[in-house]
Chain A
Amino acid sequence: MSGSLDRTQLDDLRQSCVECGLCLPNCATYLATGNEAQSPRGRLLLLGEVLDGRTDASEPSVRETFDQCLGCLACTATCPSGVSADLLAYVRRLAADADPNRRPPVRLLDRRAVLRTLRVVGSLVRGAAVRLLGAGWRGRLERTPGAGRRLARLLGTLPVDPGSDDALIAQFETLDGGGPRPAVSSHHRAPAAGLRVAVFKGCADASLMPHTSRRLQDLLRRLGCELTVPEGQDCCGALASHLESRGRTSRLRRRNRRAFTPHLGHCDHVVVAAAGCGQELKSQPGDLSDMVIDAVSLLERLAPVDLGPVPLRVAVHDPCHARHGLGVVEAPRRLLARIPGVVVLEPAEAEVCCGSAGVYGVQHPEMSAVMGRRKAEALAATGCDAVVTTNPGCLGQIADGLALVAPHIPILPLTDLVWYAARASGPRKEMS
């Protein structure tokens, strides 16, 4: 862990950067600003200067570049020289240490009740905005200076909940034309070999998108999994660790270990819906991390074969946690390929972070908005009918960008699409 790096280790790590610059086009902060100080190589060069005592980490411009790193790991994923994530974590730590006063209230952000309230208020405000300003409400709000703009941004950081089953079905039916579906064979897949799966709910997933979270469980059950939802589980700790709140991070980790340990003996997997939580849990030492699997990989492994046709062109956005952190790239594509009629489109700059990155959107609203918009443009340029992804943070961030550049394109959780396809194939009652 970066906290325990000694000087020699740090020097060695730093030397691994050959300054080739190949990582620049993958870095969202560089793309947003065009400023190399805001690039991976720039940050590592500055780190070198700080370590050599040539520059002071508290110098505002240096701190700013460190501070604005998303921690998305897109750079380490392309680096031919093997520059490690630890180095970047260290960079971000330096920024936090240089200015300890800038921590937003973590507790608020990972308390479920607060998130739930935010969701309810958010959807009320959104509804009001739609009524007042019409379909292009997001753009109009953004153009009003001051409070309107801030409100727009705040709403933007909240994932748009796809809503109840009926709402979701209605949304899909408008998208795919809702035409008559070909009759589905009566063959019904026998439950898979009875996997026992413990569910990690994750605060954002469970609170901001409760229906999606439930639908995933429906789906898993239908595929023959036996589910347990351990009591006493808490936020994964990713947000707290983003904010370098060490005490809080380890408290949360302890709590989750306590909640899951009794179940680990008699279950095959711990399934996690949000890629962010998945990576956080995987990165912790212990038995829990070995059993963690992300929802998409699990679904793909369960190989649902009787998915109904959904004639949609969908662009896939890989959350950085999945793509760069866990290396999950193929699974979502293989899963989507099982849905007849779905055409998968790959956007340009697929490796680049959308700018959500935990609490980044709250800390750096301007920068994050630029990134979200750029990502939305790249996704819209594929000519897709809808975008799918697997992380609630990305969902909100990209929805916000899409609202500005292509309001007709919705973004939905990938598992909701699979749920819809499964429903489209089988008897309805089972799924609702």
Chain B
Amino acid sequence: MSTPDLIRDLRRAAGRSSVLDDAAACSVYARDASHLEHGRPACVVLPETVECLRQVVELCACHGRPFVVRGGGTGLSGGALPVDGAVVIGTSRLLRLGPVDVERSRVHAEPGVINDAVTRHALPHGLHFAPDPSSQSAATVGGNVAENAGGPHCLKVGVTAQHVRRLDWIDARGRAWTTGRGAAFERGVDLRGLLCGSEGTLGVVTGAELLLQPVPEATVTLLAVFPSLADATRAVVDLMTSGLVPEACEIVDRVMLGAVEAAFGFGFPTDVDAVMICEMAGSVGAAGEDAARAEAVLRAAGARDVNAAADEDERSRLWMCRKKAFGAVGRLAPAYISMDVVVPLGSLTTLVEDIQTIKTEHRVEVATAFHAGDGNLHPGVHYDDRDQDLTARAHRAADAIVMRALELKGSCTGEHGVGLEKRHLIHHQLDATSLQLMRGVKTVFDPHGLCNPDKLLPASDVTAASPVPVPDRPDFRWKSLTVTAPAATPLAVLQAEALTRGLWIPVGAASRIRAAGPGLGGSVTVGDLVDAGTVGPSLLGSTSVGDALLELWAETGDGRIFHAGAPVLKNVAGYDLVRLISGSGGILARPLAATWQLKPAPGCVACWTWSDVPPTLSGESRRDFLRVLRRHGQPAAAVRERASAGPVLWVLAAGRDRAWDLDRLGDDLTAWSEDHGLRRPSMQRQSGSDLANPSSLAGLPGWACGSPDWTLLTRREGHPDWPRPRRLIWQNRPDLLWTPEVIPEEPVGWFADTVFADGRLQSLPRPPAGVPVELLVGLKRLFDPDDRLPVPEWLAAAREGGTW
């Protein structure tokens, strides 16, 4: 249909002033922060409501018109650029931000809300939105979700996907959906995880339920000066493997320092090769002690000077310099290629050295500021685009850097996405089957290819990367903080080995599983965990199994073997098949092997028990309780249940290898009890090494250091310390918190309760209303065309009843 018809229809739906087809708008919306050019849109629509946005998408579908959503236009891979004649849908008028749900640490945001605004909104409640891309003052929630954005402070708590509990979205046909209920224990095919990082090619995000993190009681920001860049990168590895968990760890190299200093005059030394910004946070004592330890590690690794930011003002100026470093490159040259390659931590130094070689070989300038702790580099090749020869060399150098990162088992993109920019590179990273599956996913969601075409996936005639062989034995890469193991490996074996180095796979203490008895016994394997994808309070500080899962080898129902993800801490190359498979109950693919992230294991664990809590706690005492839990940096979980013997409340907390951390929490909990007329709790404490020794844990409630799927224990009728299905859970990090109002009436369903029973993985529960079952059916057909893998009843029924 013709453009004038389309525009007429759009105006009718969205209102005259919301549809722009003038020359100025069409020129401006053909560009974004990527410096790329692609096509010129037919018009730009700026809907004022989500419903209006839905109608716009529906009209595009009716007219067969491609469309692309645009947030702040700060994307660096050209994701928001339209093809010729497309409709650009801007979210700049969808700015509603819901009230902060303090108890559940949540807030609902429309897609146009600026990242920064979420934190400003939450700060009065002592909470903040952790993902902090350097563009946070202009990038939107929709754009962050679409690119799965990261930032300096994602090192400890993870990138955007880990902070999104539920997405409301519109598919390519203009139908509104959601991804689930947003509960902490959700289980099923993870559409939320799939949409995060899908670069607006699978649908339009119209709302996000975001998880907020408590603002730490104290933060110490260190500025370390290194005479040599190689030393600085080695120091990162030393720091990350020292048992400390920095909040952020960034490096700025000499060239970038010069630009930043010219722009902001912070007072950085400009005669050194690198400075590192490293931040430790937690309770007042913990942050200080950790910072002192970090300082020692950095000095030992060759830091010339290590200083802590004197006050909040200096700290915020320091971060301002880091965050605006990118823009300051504009002072060095008119154009730059900004890259975001990632490599395993252990290969960071190698890549940094190789970049120097590439730079000399191609005679170009490179300025780097990077998220060092994640192994995520931002080498920026800058050049004058009026010089053609230089421009060509710059692009060749950039490609060479990416290829080198891939040789080191890295990823071509950790944050910025593939977009248009890396379409010519992505096939070097993905094998043929995973490419085929990604194309299939796109077709399931967008059969006519209208939703942001030309992005993320390579052109059809490329040769994919050769398959990565499926590992046949466990392989610990201590310097990279990862472990790869075949699916049949018992989790307990891996955990025991990891604990010898003070590390663990952050999915709960597996040793307990061995002793846990009838359910899974000692047999929980890597593959089980991938299929189950569950979380439990014993996770203490990590989010879900999917969050710690970095890389996956799996086999589709019809025997196609594919490799997804990479052994790196950040990766947004292509659709996130790892998250899609993890927790899908084995209905899409059979896991063959997986790579997990290793984190420092708790040094000690303590559990406080109250047996006299009233059936309901007053709002005030709940809030105070949360305040206590949140004030302490260490992960803690609280479980409350209506046991037959009367209501019980437990708090379980993990500390580092120092007792006083937990003593302070204990003091505060005692004070809280007294303030609210409760008897003092009884306390049990275990040292970290006990985690490997099940018999020493006998005194703790079963769930406390039990299986990754704590509800496993609820199935063990008759066990004295079983929580009943009715319970209330708080966790200060992340948000495992249910108030009585939101405990689901039926304890089964889209919740972890039904993951395992009698030692078997239960079939996947029916998704809640609003989740598009027909797309799940499509995915099932894509991955398992002949039903060789389990078929849940609801899925079979939907298939029979539906037209698909």
Task: Give the interface of A toward B (CB within 8 A).
Answer: 15-25, 30, 34-37, 39, 41-42, 45-46, 49, 54-55, 59-62, 64-65, 78-82, 348
Considering the chains assembled together, what is the distance between the CA atoms of A46 and B20 in angstroms?
16
Q: Is the CB of A21 within 8 A of B138?
A: yes
Closest Cβ of chain A: how far from B344's Cβ, in Å?
A: 30
Considering the chains assembled together, what is the distance between the CA atoms of A60 and B25 in angstroms?
12
Check if B22 is an interface residue, CB within 8 A of chain A: yes
Q: Is the CB of A46 within 8 A of B27?
A: yes
Residues of the A chain whose Cβ atoms lie less than 8 Å from the Cβ of B90: 34-36
Contact pattern, B 12-45, Cβ under 8 Å of A = 1, otherwise 0: 0000000010111101110111010000000010
Check if B299 is an interface residue, CB within 8 A of chain A: no
Residues of the B chain whose Cβ atoms lie less than 8 Å from the Cβ of A16: 330-331, 334
Residues of the B chain whose Cβ atoms lie less than 8 Å from the Cβ of A41: 28, 73
Q: Is the CB of B27 within 8 A of A81?
A: no
Q: Is the CB of B334 within 8 A of A15?
A: yes
Using known A-B contacts A34-B46, A81-B328, A348-B120, determine if residue A20 contacts B24 with beta carbons closer than 8 Å.
no
Using known A-B contacts A21-B72, A22-B74, A37-B28, determine if residue A55 contacts B327 with beta carbons closer than 8 Å.
no
Of A20, A30, A60, A80, the residue contacting B74 (CB under 8 A) is A20
Q: Is the CB of B329 within 8 A of A19?
A: no
Residues of the B chain whose Cβ atoms lie less than 8 Å from the Cβ of A46: 24, 27-28
Interface set, chain B 119-172, CB cutoff 8 A to A: 120, 135, 137-138
Q: Is the CB of B28 within 8 A of A22?
A: no
Of B25, B29, B120, B327, the residue contacting A81 (CB under 8 A) is B327
Q: Is the CB of B73 within 8 A of A37?
A: no
Considering the chains assembled together, what is the distance between the CA atoms of A277 and B334 in angstroms?
35
Of A15, A23, A65, A79, the residue contacting B24 (CB under 8 A) is A65
Q: Is the CB of A80 within 8 A of B327?
A: yes
Q: Is the CB of B74 within 8 A of A62?
A: no
Of B23, B35, B331, B336, the residue contacting A59 (CB under 8 A) is B23
Residues of the A chain whose Cβ atoms lie less than 8 Å from the Cβ of B334: 15-16
Closest Cβ of chain A: how far from B78's Cβ, in Å?
A: 12
Residues of the A chain whose Cβ atoms lie less than 8 Å from the Cβ of B138: 20-25
For A83, the closest partner residue in chain B by CB is: B330
Q: Is the CB of B137 within 8 A of A55?
A: no
Check if B436 is an interface residue, CB within 8 A of chain A: no
Check if B63 is an interface residue, CB within 8 A of chain A: no
Closest Cβ of chain B: how far from A63's Cβ, in Å?
A: 9
Check if B263 is an interface residue, CB within 8 A of chain A: yes
Q: Is the CB of A62 within 8 A of B24?
A: yes
Residues of the A chain whose Cβ atoms lie less than 8 Å from the Cβ of B46: 34-35
Closest Cβ of chain B: how far from A332's Cβ, in Å?
A: 18
Most-contacted residue by chain B among A22, A45, A65, A81 (CB, 10 A): A22
Most-contacted residue by chain A among B27, B120, B326 (CB, 10 A): B27
Residues of the A chain whose Cβ atoms lie less than 8 Å from the Cβ of B32: 19, 21
Using known A-B contacts A19-B32, A34-B90, determine if residue A61 contacts B72 with beta carbons closer than 8 Å.
no
Using known A-B contacts A20-B33, A25-B114, A25-B137, determine if residue A37 contacts B327 with beta carbons closer than 8 Å.
no
Closest Cβ of chain A: how far from B529's Cβ, in Å?
A: 41
For B29, the closest partner residue in chain A by CB is: A36
Given contacts A18-B330, A20-B330, A55-B24, 14 further A-B contacts (CB under 8 A): A16-B330, A18-B33, A18-B329, A21-B72, A22-B324, A24-B138, A35-B25, A45-B28, A55-B27, A59-B24, A80-B324, A80-B325, A81-B263, A81-B327
Residues of the B chain whose Cβ atoms lie less than 8 Å from the Cβ of A60: 22
Of B44, B112, B330, the residue contacting A17 (CB under 8 A) is B330
Residues of the B chain whose Cβ atoms lie less than 8 Å from the Cβ of A49: 27
Check if B359 is an interface residue, CB within 8 A of chain A: no
Residues of the A chain whose Cβ atoms lie less than 8 Å from the Cβ of B670: none
Considering the chains assembled together, what is the distance between the CA atoms of A79 and B331 in angstroms?
11
Check if B93 is an interface residue, CB within 8 A of chain A: yes
Check if B92 is an interface residue, CB within 8 A of chain A: yes
Task: Write 18 A-B pairs (CB below 8 A) sorted by A numbering.
Answer: A18-B326, A18-B329, A19-B33, A20-B138, A20-B330, A21-B138, A22-B74, A30-B92, A34-B112, A37-B27, A45-B28, A46-B24, A46-B28, A49-B27, A55-B24, A79-B327, A81-B263, A81-B331
For B93, the closest partner residue in chain A by CB is: A34
Please classify how large the interface on chain B is, using the bins under 10, 10 to 19, 20 to 34, 35 or more. Answer: 35 or more
Residues of the A chain whose Cβ atoms lie less than 8 Å from the Cβ of B331: 16, 81-82
Q: Is the CB of B24 within 8 A of A82?
A: no
For A39, the closest partner residue in chain B by CB is: B28
Q: Is the CB of A82 within 8 A of B28?
A: no
For B333, the closest partner residue in chain A by CB is: A15
Q: Is the CB of A64 within 8 A of B24?
A: yes
Q: Is the CB of A35 within 8 A of B330?
A: no
Considering the chains assembled together, what is the distance between the CA atoms of A392 and B774 in angstroms?
62
Q: Is the CB of A21 within 8 A of B74?
A: yes
Considering the chains assembled together, what is the distance between the CA atoms of A338 and B412 in angstroms?
56
Q: Is the CB of A61 within 8 A of B120?
A: no
Considering the chains assembled together, what is the distance between the CA atoms of A68 and B492 in angstroms?
66
Considering the chains assembled together, what is the distance between the CA atoms of A342 and B23 in angstroms?
50
Q: Is the CB of B28 within 8 A of A42?
A: yes
Of A36, A79, A82, the residue contacting B73 (CB under 8 A) is A36
Contact pattern, B 98-125, Cβ under 8 Å of A = 1, otherwise 0: 0000000000000010101000100000
Residues of the A chain whose Cβ atoms lie less than 8 Å from the Cβ of B328: 80-81
Considering the chains assembled together, what is the distance between the CA atoms of A41 and B73 in angstroms?
10
Considering the chains assembled together, what is the distance between the CA atoms of A45 and B263 in angstroms?
22
Q: Is the CB of A18 within 8 A of B336?
A: yes
Residues of the A chain whose Cβ atoms lie less than 8 Å from the Cβ of B116: 25
Considering the chains assembled together, what is the distance between the CA atoms of A19 and B114 in angstroms?
18
Residues of the A chain whose Cβ atoms lie less than 8 Å from the Cβ of B329: 18, 81
Closest Cβ of chain B: how far from A128's Cβ, in Å?
A: 34
Of A18, A22, A81, A82, the residue contacting B137 (CB under 8 A) is A22
Considering the chains assembled together, what is the distance between the CA atoms of A21 and B92 in angstroms?
13
Closest Cβ of chain B: how far from A180's Cβ, in Å?
A: 34
Residues of the A chain whose Cβ atoms lie less than 8 Å from the Cβ of B73: 21, 24, 36, 41
Using known A-B contacts A24-B138, A80-B324, determine if residue A61 contacts B35 with beta carbons closer than 8 Å.
no
Closest Cβ of chain A: how far from B286's Cβ, in Å?
A: 31
Most-contacted residue by chain A among B90, B120, B324, B330 (CB, 10 A): B330
Considering the chains assembled together, what is the distance between the CA atoms of A59 and B328 in angstroms?
33
Q: Is the CB of A21 within 8 A of B28?
A: no
Most-contacted residue by chain A among B135, B138, B326, B335 (CB, 10 A): B138
For B262, the closest partner residue in chain A by CB is: A82
Q: Is the CB of A24 within 8 A of B72?
A: yes
Closest Cβ of chain B: how far from A12's Cβ, in Å?
A: 8
Residues of the A chain whose Cβ atoms lie less than 8 Å from the Cβ of B120: 348
Considering the chains assembled together, what is the distance between the CA atoms of A19 and B329 in angstroms?
12
Closest Cβ of chain B: how far from A377's Cβ, in Å?
A: 13
Closest Cβ of chain B: how far from A134's Cβ, in Å?
A: 32
Considering the chains assembled together, what is the distance between the CA atoms of A65 and B72 in angstroms?
18
Contact pattern, B 71-106, Cβ under 8 Å of A = 1, otherwise 0: 011100000000000000010110000000000000
Considering the chains assembled together, what is the distance between the CA atoms of A39 and B28 in angstroms?
10
Residues of the A chain whose Cβ atoms lie less than 8 Å from the Cβ of B33: 18-21
Residues of the B chain whose Cβ atoms lie less than 8 Å from the Cβ of A25: 114, 116, 137-138
Q: Is the CB of B35 within 8 A of A19?
A: yes
Residues of the A chain whose Cβ atoms lie less than 8 Å from the Cβ of B330: 16-18, 20, 80-82
Considering the chains assembled together, what is the distance between the CA atoms of A61 and B116 in angstroms?
31
For B94, the closest partner residue in chain A by CB is: A34
